[in-house]
Structure 1
Amino acid sequence: MPQYKISIEFEGTRYSGWQKQPNSNTVEEEIESGLSRILPQPVDVIGQGRTDSGVHAEEQVAHFYHSDELDPDKVLYALLGVLPHDIAVWNMQEVADDFHARFDATARRYRYQIIRRPAPLLRSFSEMVLDDLDLDAMHHCAQKIKGTHNFDSFTKPDNENPDSVCNVVHSSFAEDEYLLCYHIEANRFVRHMVRRLVGTMIEVGKGKRKVENFVDMIEKPSKQKNGHGAAAQGLILEKVKYEKSQKNS
């Protein structure tokens, strides 16, 4: 059967994350419902990974099979009429039948937004921090995150991801007037990892934790060390990267 890769943007405010779950409204469920209405037949959408409740995405990637050849432009246009206003499928392409959105992904990139003054246009997509921050200390912590580490200090037990080792290829802060953004890219992420990294670095910036304490959490990982979590609303999945050719021959 033909297989299709889709790219999805969504505002996660109203949703209990990406992954389907009982008695909760999720992005995956809305996508499957929309596709099933316009095709029409039941569709099983497989995402590259899950996002937590309240987290947003500029490019979440997923794939699905269909029994017939589809016209991507027509499907994308039809989805505009059936998906809620805070979810959009903005790209669709046929891919090789062995493509897998999750297992073929080589890297994921996230952005966390921190606003330093009241900013209504960004409030739903950022955490507001009005305290003075020691940005030099936060930059130092961000550099310590780069490389291959066990991130047990910044996650929680998860049967789907029992191994907390991730290879971080980029970790940095960028400041533009009142907006402070943290950027991170890695081969994989474990549950709550980015939010706990950012939340703990904010505590360092406020002087509530020392840089040495943060470094200890990186170098001597333990789930008992309990990194502080930042608000979900500031986290945005920016990009999922693939190296494998995705087009059918």
Structure 2
Amino acid sequence: MRYFFEVAYNGTNYHGWQIQQNATTIQQLIEEALSVILRTKIPIMGSGRTDTGVHCSQQYFHADLPENAAISNLRYKLNSFLPPDISINSICKVTDDAHARFTALSRSYEYRITQCKDPFLQNMSYFYPKSLDITTMNEAASLLVGKQDFESFSKVKTDVNNFVCDITEAQWVEKGDLLIFHITANRFLRGMVRAIVGTLLMVGKGKLRKEDFKKIIESKDRKEAGAAAPAAGLFLTAVKYPREIFP
């Protein structure tokens, strides 16, 4: 029987989501916990991959569990087994063909910048004290919305068939001392959000014009875009699915 698990984590101490050799990852620890609790090997499939140091307030993975698995207290057992910086927030049954990655309709990320030094936001935001033109950054960000090729913001070594994404939201919002970039799309390329943020910061500093940002998108050349913003400010915040997969 297939189940969706909702997970949140502080990514500071991990080498991202996906299992890797000689590195501790979120997927690895969850698979180990499930396999110990259910006394059989349980592979899981995540809705996507996050890089080293990236955080997550909502992600999903699916797993096929034995019919005799005790679901009622599985969340409690998992959270008791997992370290404090990883939390299973819900477990729900889905249709057998539901897939955490391929069935997802959209993903949303936030990139959080603080312009005032705050020790309580260390590793949870990017401290960037320089003056920024938020209005111009939002004008440039609006050029991202729509279905287009975003190869300019993708890591060079990637195994995707194409670089086309459909972005439905891209906006900077000021919230107290935080400057937060909200972005939602049907899919994201490797390193895409951090590359976009790094390039928009160049716009905010006056090093690039809105017209330059448009040309960077059209170039389909990663070398034309700015350096990637640090991982610590990035959060995966939401993954949406069609209602029909939840019986």
The answer to whether the superposition gives a TM-score over 0.5 is yes
For 2:159 and 2:13, the matched residues in 1 are separated by 24
Contact 1:151 1:218 survives alignment (8 Å):
yes
1:5 aligned onto 2:18? no
- Which position in structure 2 is the counterpart of 1:169? 168
CA–CA separation in structure 1 for the residues paired with 2:213 and 2:71: 47
**Local SS of the residue matching 1:112:** strand
- Partner of 1:57, secondary structure, is strand
- Kindly provide the amino acid, as one letter, of the partner of residue 156 in structure 2: P
Shift of 1:226: 3.7
- 1:37 equivalent in alignment to 2:63: no
Matched residue, 1:17: 16
**Aligned residue type for 1:119:** D
* Aligned partner of residue 4 in structure 2, secondary structure: strand
Q: Aligned Cα RMSD in Å?
A: 1.3
Deviation at 1:48, TM superposition (A): 0.9
1:134 aligns with 2:133: yes
Shift of 1:174: 0.6
CA contact under 8 A between 1:104 and 1:244: conserved in structure 2? no
Matching of residues 71-86 of structure 1 within 5 Å: 71-86=70-85
- Please give the secondary structure, in 1, of the residue aligned with 2:129: coil
The TM-score with structure 2 as length reference comes to 0.96
Name the residue aligned to 1:246.
245
Q: 204-213 vs 103-112, which deviates more?
A: 204-213
Which residue of structure 2 lines up, in the alignment, with residue 101 of structure 1? 100
* 1:1-249 equivalences in 2 (<5 Å): 2-248=1-247
Deviation at 1:72, TM superposition (A): 3.0
What SS does the corresponding residue of 2:120 show, helix, strand or coil?
Answer: coil
Any stretches of 5+ residues in structure 2 without a counterpart?
A: none
How far apart are 1:189 and its partner, in Å? 0.3
AA matched with 1:86: D
The letter of the residue matching 2:186 is N
Helix, strand or coil at the partner of 1:245: helix
CA distance, structure 2, for counterparts of residue 99 and residue 162 of structure 1: 22
- Structure 2: how far apart are the matches of 1:177 and 1:30? 35
Cα distance in 2, alignment partners of residues 237 and 146 from structure 1: 19
Separation of aligned partners in 1, 2:76 and 2:145: 41
- For residues 210 and 48 of structure 2, what CA distance do their matches in structure 1 show? 31
**What is the number of residues matched between the two proteins?**
247
State the alpha-carbon separation in 2 of the partners of residues 69 and 144 from structure 1.
51
Q: Secondary structure at the match of 1:25?
A: coil
The separation in 2 between residues aligned to 1:154 and 1:227, in whole angstroms, is 9
List alignment gaps of at least 5 residues for structure 1.
Answer: none
